[in-house]
Amino acid sequence: MISKAVHGSNTLGALRYLYGPGRANEHTDPHLVASWGGFAPDPGRDPHSSLAQLRDALDLHVVQYGRKIKSHVYHRMVRADPTDRTLTDNDWAAVARCVVAAAGIAPDGDPDVCRWIAVRHADDHIHILATIVRADLTQARLRGDQYRVEAELTTIERQYGLKDLSDTRTRDYRAAVPKRATGAELRKAQRQGKETSDRDRLHTSVRRALAGAASEEEFAAGLAAQGVLLGVRRAPSGDVTGYKFALSTGDGTAPVWFPGGKLATDLTRPQIQARFTAGTDLPTTSSPVAARYRASTTVDHVTRTLDDAPDTAQVAAVISGGIEALDALALTSPVLSRKEINHAARALEYTAVARTRTRAARADLRAMRSAARELLHAGPTGGRGEEGAAATTILSSLILLALVIAKWHAAQGQHHQADAARTAADHLRTAYGRHAAKPLAHLSLEGERLPGEVRDRQAAALRHALPADQAARVLADKDGWAALAATLAEAEAAGHDPNALLAHATGRRELASADSAAAVLTWRIRRDTALPAPGRAVTPEDRRANAALSRSATGRTTTPPTPTHQPHSSRGTSGTTPTSTAALPPTTSQPAPHRR
């Protein structure tokens, strides 16, 4: 259940809303389910009662108080989760009594409680309306009422078998998640024909401008590019105390400013400056394909840290950096996957945890921010050929990262955050499927055509590299295993040792969390060995280039180097199609290979 209280000064106006048709005629059969003493008139069911009579009854103690009270109306909504069963009127009456007792409106056993009613006009929620003057003509003590009510809601959820939302009521959760648009902001957006509120649009734009930015100047330039105004808030002394943001109106009307903390708690000036302090590495490539492969290597590395019993600071850093990487990827991805990646970034925000700083956390944040910076520096990419293969590879890595974040939250008992991470993974799966379907189908067909002795040799290498249960799971994935076998055979033909490749690619314990371990291994190996996009003919130049990779100074094939992939397309200035790939030295974000 969720609950929120507002305060006002117009009792009759509030009653008109509760008993009225609603803003979209959504109110059906409004009626009382509970009240103080049980004797309040009900204009919804009693034709002899009126809203004015109910107003007078509720305001009796306010009138007797004799002094003006700025906001004497206490209005609290209590809503069940959409997945909960429908509660009866008696159930809602019991819930209302528990809530007003916890809030301080009508404490149990108190003879001088405030006057209150609970109105139901929909299946899934009630409204509690009270006046805050007690029968002894003192004002109710409401300070801290939200925390007390939320604690009571946790008890109610367990008593009635409703969805447990207790993990969303912690201070850490409140401090981490973005601020939601208010009802008034949503209605304004609807009137203006906009899909989202100004707050939500501003929140997303600020996030995107922050992705990979190394300084305040770069951040400001990113904001300007998206039509966002940046302002500063100052103390009376003139010192800067915070950032504020607004959407550029362009029509001469005054912009509506939002402090960074009203968008999300990590968009305050100190939190943004902390990201700049963590620093970023300079981009090392101008190729969108290479940037995606390098970013996927970084994501694989930080994913492994989450499976090594991380501290909370590391988890916070990886999630924060992951959001930046997703925002950068959304800005540079083709249309067919951009929307889903953006949805994944917004879902991942609801997995955030309280931020503390450790050396390991700063290193993980720097690595992920550097990956985001490199993606933006390399620019946009398409969805076919080498560019499609690179997009598929990084999306595969990000799906696994989201699943491991979900696993971590579930282990902490934070099920709401775990659900949000799974939602992010679902969006990424959709984007991944749009890029991966054709190349995986091609690889699967190639794998089915392999001679039996070749498939048996690759299967033996797989059993040597993976624990027996994981190896069995990969081999049982018919299409996935066929694609992996084809990739191993292709890499072997290019001069690589399948055993060494698998030892490197499977040397990460988080592989067990993957939807398809075979697919993860396929894309990792293709990335690490600079194999061409599936379906593209391998030329003699490709074979010589890959053979050179296998004879690198770090050893023949024990540590696959990080490749710099170039798009194999006809867009070169000379009119010829590039046919070879080069290798970069391993980056600092690439994990060292190890066997189990």
Q: Under a CB-based contact definition with an 8 Å cutoff, are residues 223 and 207 in contact?
A: no
Per the prediction, the chain carries an average pLDDT of: 84
**Would you call 78 helix, strand, or coil by DSSP?**
strand
Please say if the pLDDT value at position 243 is more than 50. Answer: yes
- Tell me what pLDDT residue 554 has: 33
- Tell me what pLDDT residue 541 has: 55
- Tell me what pLDDT residue 573 has: 33
239 vs 571 pLDDT, higher one: 239
Q: In what order do the strands lie in the sheet with 125-131?
A: 2-8, 73-79, 125-131, 116-122, 31-35
- Tell me what pLDDT residue 572 has: 34
Please say if the pLDDT value at position 4 is more than 80. Answer: yes
Percent pLDDT > 70 in the chain is 88
* Residue 447: band (very low, low, confident or very high) from pLDDT cuts 50, 70, 90: very high
Name 34's bridge partners: 118
* Residue 415: band (very low, low, confident or very high) from pLDDT cuts 50, 70, 90: confident
Please say if the pLDDT value at position 546 is more than 80. Answer: no
Please say if the pLDDT value at position 565 is more than 50. Answer: no
Other Cβ atoms within 10 Å of 160 Cβ, number: 15
Other Cβ atoms within 10 Å of 271 Cβ, number: 17
Other Cβ atoms within 10 Å of 509 Cβ, number: 14
Q: Where is average pLDDT lowest: 273-282, 332-341, 497-506, 568-577? A: 568-577
384 vs 559 pLDDT, higher one: 384
Long-range contacts of 399-402 (CB under 8 A, 24+ apart): 399/425, 399/428, 399/429, 399/432, 399/514, 399/515, 400/300, 400/303, 400/510, 400/511, 400/513, 400/514, 400/520, 401/299, 401/302, 401/303, 401/306, 401/318, 401/322, 402/322, 402/344, 402/348, 402/428
Please say if the pLDDT value at position 361 is more than 90. Answer: no
Please say if the pLDDT value at position 569 is more than 70. Answer: no
Mean pLDDT, residues 45-54 taken together = 92
- Tell me what pLDDT residue 356 has: 64
- Tell me what pLDDT residue 352 has: 84
- Tell me what pLDDT residue 587 has: 35
- Name, of 322-331, 382-391, 407-416, 547-556, the range with top average pLDDT: 322-331
- Tell me what pLDDT residue 469 has: 86
- Tell me what pLDDT residue 571 has: 33
Q: Please name the helix (run of DSSP H) or strand (run of DSSP E) that holds residue 12, with its range, or none.
A: helix 11-19
Mean pLDDT, residues 32-59 taken together = 92
**pLDDT digits over 502-537, tens only?**
988 886 556 767 788 899 999 999 998 988 888 755
Please say if the pLDDT value at position 285 is more than 60. Answer: yes
**pLDDT digits over 121-166, tens only?**
999 999 999 999 999 999 999 999 999 999 999 999 999 999 988 8
359 vs 403 pLDDT, higher one: 403
Amino acid at 460: A
Q: Under a CB-based contact definition with an 8 Å cutoff, are residues 483 and 467 in contact?
A: no
- Tell me what pLDDT residue 170 has: 80
Other Cβ atoms within 10 Å of 550 Cβ, number: 20
Please say if the pLDDT value at position 64 is more than 90. Answer: yes
**pLDDT digits over 467-480, tens only?**
888 889 999 999 89
Other Cβ atoms within 10 Å of 178 Cβ, number: 20
Q: Under a CB-based contact definition with an 8 Å cutoff, are residues 351 and 409 in contact?
A: yes
- Tell me what pLDDT residue 553 has: 29
- Tell me what pLDDT residue 576 has: 33
Least Cα distance to 542 among 584, 502, 495, 574 occurs for 495
- Tell me what pLDDT residue 510 has: 61
Mean pLDDT, residues 251-272 taken together = 87
* Residue 538: band (very low, low, confident or very high) from pLDDT cuts 50, 70, 90: low
**Would you call 249 helix, strand, or coil by DSSP?**
coil
CA dihedral 40, 41, 44, 50 (to 10 degrees): -140
**Would you call 119 helix, strand, or coil by DSSP?**
strand
**pLDDT digits over 261-271, tens only?**
889 888 889 98
Q: Where is average pLDDT lowest: 192-196, 308-312, 583-587? A: 583-587
- Tell me what pLDDT residue 72 has: 95
Mean pLDDT, residues 386-392 taken together = 90
Please say if the pLDDT value at position 591 is more than 50. Answer: no
* Residue 580: band (very low, low, confident or very high) from pLDDT cuts 50, 70, 90: very low
- Tell me what pLDDT residue 158 has: 94
